[in-house]
Amino acid sequence: MPVPPTAADLARRVQSGDTTASALLDATLNRIEAARNLNAVVSLNEGASEQAGQIHRRLAAGEHLPLAGVPILVKDNISVAGTRTSCGSKILASYVSPYTATAVARLQAAGAVIVGKANMDEFAMGSSTESSAYGPTLNPWDTGRVPGGSSGGSAAAVAAGLTPVALGSDTGGSVRQPASLCGVYGLKPTYGRISRYGLVAYASSLDQIGPFAHTAEDLALLMNVLAGQDPLDATSLDAPPAFAPGTPEDLRGLRVGVVKESLAGNTAGVDATLQTTLDALRGAGATIAEVSLPELKYAIAAYYLIAMPEASSNLARYDGMVYGARVAGSDVTEAMTLTREQGFGPEVQRRIMIGTYALSSGYYDAYYSKAMKVRRLIANRFAEAFGQFDVLVTPTSPFPAFRRGEKTSDPLAMYAADVDTVAINLAGLPALSVPAGFETVNGVTLPVGIQFIAPALQDERLVRLAGGLEGLGFVKAGVAPGY
Ligand code: GLN
C-alpha cells in the first residue's frame, strides 16, 4: 500500500518552489471529483483558491509556513468562516459559519489550505457515518462497508489519498475508530491540548479535535501547529507542543501494558494484529505485561450517560430561532417543536430524549451522577496503571469495517463499536490508533488498527512510538487499493 506524498513532502515542495499551493489545490479538487462515489466530502471551501494564491507571496515575504500549501479537509463540525458547517444535519443545512475555529486558524497561519468539509455522523453521534443527512460515506477499502465514524469522511478522504491529512473530532472514539477501519493514523489528544473554539459542541467535557495522517512525521507536523493554549477556550491547556517522530531506539525499555479487558470478543484478525504488534515491540526491546482495569466494563454505560445529557443540553440551541433551519408554526412552541422534529434525525432525537431523562429530577442521582462517579473511578484506575506502564495498548475496534446497514437498526450494537475507545475520553487521556495489520473477510482485505494510550499530556510519547514502529517497517499505512 503506497503512502502518497505526505503533508511534510508537499510543504517541502512548495517551500522549495518545486510546485505551488494552487497546483496542489487543483490536483486535490480533481481527486475529490474522481472519488465522489465515496461521499467523503460534503462541501468545498470557496475561499481556498484565494488562500492558495497567497502562499507564494507569504513565503516570499519570509513567513515561516511549516504547512505551506498543504491541502486539508476538516470535519463538518469545525467552523471555517464563510463555509457551511452542517454537522451532517438537516437542521444546519443552510448555516454558514461567521468565524473560524482556532484549530483551523492555526493551520491557515501555518500555510495550509482548507479545501472543504468532510462528511460525518449527524452531530458526531455514531460510529459508521451512516446517520449523516447528506448520505453515508463509503469505505475506500470496500465500498459495501462503513468507514467508521463519526469522522468517517475525514478518515475515508485520507485513506483514498484525497488529502494527505485531515481533521476530525473524537468524543468517544470518532477519530480513532474510523482511522482503524480505514487504515490510517488517528490521534485523540489529551483533553485540552487542542482548542475546541469553533468546534460545534456534542459533549463538551469529552470532545477533542484530532488529526488523521499516514506517517508519524505528519502527525508531529500537525500537532506542533494545532496544540497550545487558546484564550478563547477556557479548557485549553498551557502545554507547548514538542512533537517529533521517534525511532526504534525509543521503543527500548518502553513498558507496555496490555489491557486485559480488551482481549475478549475480538475477531481473529484483530487478535492476530495485536499479537504481531506486541512481537514487534518486544523485538525492539520493550517489555510487555498484562494489566487489568476492571472498571472498564462500565465504560460504555457511563460514557452514554454523560455524553447524552451533555448533548441534550448543547443541542437545545437549535430551536429554529437563531441557527439554521426554521419550520413555521402557529406559535413559538409549535415552531420550535416542528423545527426540531424535522431538523434532527432519529439518532439525535433519541439521544436528546435519553439525555434529558437522565438529567431530570429523580433520575439525576440514579444515572448522571452515578456515571460521573464511575468516570472518576476509571480515571483513577488509568492513573494507577501508568504508575507501572509508559503506554497501554488495546485494539482500536473489536472488528474491522462492518457492512453498511449491519448495525443501523440496533443502536446498542452501534454503541458497542466504541468499547475500546470511550474510556479514554472519560479519563481525558491521549490515544493513537496505528494502522497495524489486516484481516481478510470474504476475500477482501480490511485494515486493523491498534490503540496506544498515554498518560495525560504525554501525547508526544505516542507519536514517538509510532515513528519507532515505522522505523521497524511495521506500520501498514497507505492508500486503499485503487486510489
Ligand atoms: N460513537 C460514539 C458516539 O456516538 C463516539 C462518537 C464521537 O466520538 N463523536 O457517541
Beta bridge partners of 448: 437
Q: Is the CB of 418 under 6 A from ligand 1?
A: yes
Rounded distance between C-alpha atoms, residue 109 and residue 87, angstroms: 24
CA of 17 relative to ligand 1 center, distance in Å: 42
Q: For position 416, what pLDDT does the model report?
A: 94
Q: 167 in helix, strand or coil?
A: strand
Beta bridge partners of 78: 199
3-state SS record for 124-139: HCCCCCCCCCCCCCCE
Q: For position 4, what pLDDT does the model report?
A: 87
Rounded distance between C-alpha atoms, residue 160 and residue 152, angstroms: 12
CB atoms within 10 A of CB 457: 17
**CA angle, 244 as apex, 240 and 248 as ends, to 5°?**
140
Nearest CA residue ID for atom 10, ligand 1: 125
Topology classification of domain 7-251+432-471: Amidase signature (AS) enzymes (3.90.1300)
The candidate with the shortest Cα–Cα distance to 307, out of 391, 217, 368, 381, is 368
Q: For position 142, what pLDDT does the model report?
A: 98
Q: Is the CB of 171 under 6 A from ligand 1?
A: yes
CB atoms within 10 A of CB 30: 11
Residue 43 is which amino acid?
A: S
Rounded distance between C-alpha atoms, residue 32 and residue 140, angstroms: 13
Cβ contact 424:453 at 8 Å: yes
Ligand 1 atom closest to the Cα of residue 206 is 8
To test the pocket of ligand 1, the residue of 120, 121, 402 to mutate (highest count of ligand atoms within 8 Å of its CB) is 121
DSSP state of 82: T
Q: Given the C-alpha cell 512481537, which residue does it identify?
A: 279
Beta bridge partners of 139: 142
Q: Is the CB of 256 under 6 A from ligand 1?
A: no
Q: Looking at 331-396, which runs of residues are DSSP E strands?
A: 391-395
To test the pocket of ligand 1, the residue of 78, 127, 191 to mutate (highest count of ligand atoms within 8 Å of its CB) is 127
pLDDT exceeding 90 applies to what percent of the chain?
Answer: 98
Alpha-carbon distance values, 180 to 29, 167, 229, 274, 277 (Å): 25, 15, 29, 13, 14
Produce one character per residue of 269-285: b if its CB has 16 or more CB atoms within 10 Å, e if not: bbbebbeebbebbeebe
Cβ contact 371:295 at 8 Å: no
Rounded distance between C-alpha atoms, residue 421 and residue 423, angstroms: 6
Below-50 pLDDT ranges, the chain: none
Give one word for 117, left, alpha or beta, with left for phi > 0 and alpha for psi -120 to 50.
Answer: beta
Q: 145 in helix, strand or coil?
A: strand
What is the pLDDT of the chain when averaged over all its residues? 97
Residue 94 is which amino acid?
A: S
CA of 124 relative to ligand 1 center, distance in Å: 6
HSE value, Cβ hemisphere, 13 Å, CA-based, for 211 = 27
| Residue pLDDT, tens place only, 310-345 | 999 999 999 998 888 899 999 999 999 999 999 999
- The residues annotated with a catalytic role in the active site are 75, 150, 174
Q: Is the CB of 127 under 6 A from ligand 1?
A: yes
DSSP state of 251: G
Q: Is the CB of 126 under 6 A from ligand 1?
A: yes
Alpha-carbon distance values, 4 to 26, 161, 214, 215, 241 (Å): 16, 6, 8, 10, 26
Q: Is the CB of 172 under 6 A from ligand 1?
A: yes
CA of 242 relative to ligand 1 center, distance in Å: 28
Rounded distance between C-alpha atoms, residue 193 and residue 476, angstroms: 27
Cβ contact 226:205 at 8 Å: no
Rounded distance between C-alpha atoms, residue 83 and residue 94, angstroms: 10
Q: Is the CB of 173 under 6 A from ligand 1?
A: yes
Q: For position 229, what pLDDT does the model report?
A: 98
| Residue pLDDT, tens place only, 182-211 | 999 999 999 999 999 999 999 999 999 999
Q: For position 40, what pLDDT does the model report?
A: 98
Q: Given the C-alpha cell 479514554, which residue does it identify?
A: 424
Output the nine-digit C-alpha cell for 133. Answer: 443527512
Produce one character per residue of 396-433: b if its CB has 16 or more CB atoms within 10 Å, e if not: bbbbbbbebeebbeebeebbebbbbbbbbbbbbbbbbb
Rounded distance between C-alpha atoms, residue 188 and residue 475, angstroms: 18
Ligand 1 atom closest to the Cα of residue 173 is 8
Report the first-to-last Cα separation within the chain, whole angstroms.
10
CA of 464 relative to ligand 1 center, distance in Å: 27
To test the pocket of ligand 1, the residue of 125, 151, 347, 422 to mutate (highest count of ligand atoms within 8 Å of its CB) is 125
Q: Is the CB of 174 under 6 A from ligand 1?
A: yes
| Residue pLDDT, tens place only, 277-307 | 999 999 999 999 999 999 999 999 999 999 9
Q: Looking at 317-388, which runs of residues are DSSP E strands?
A: none
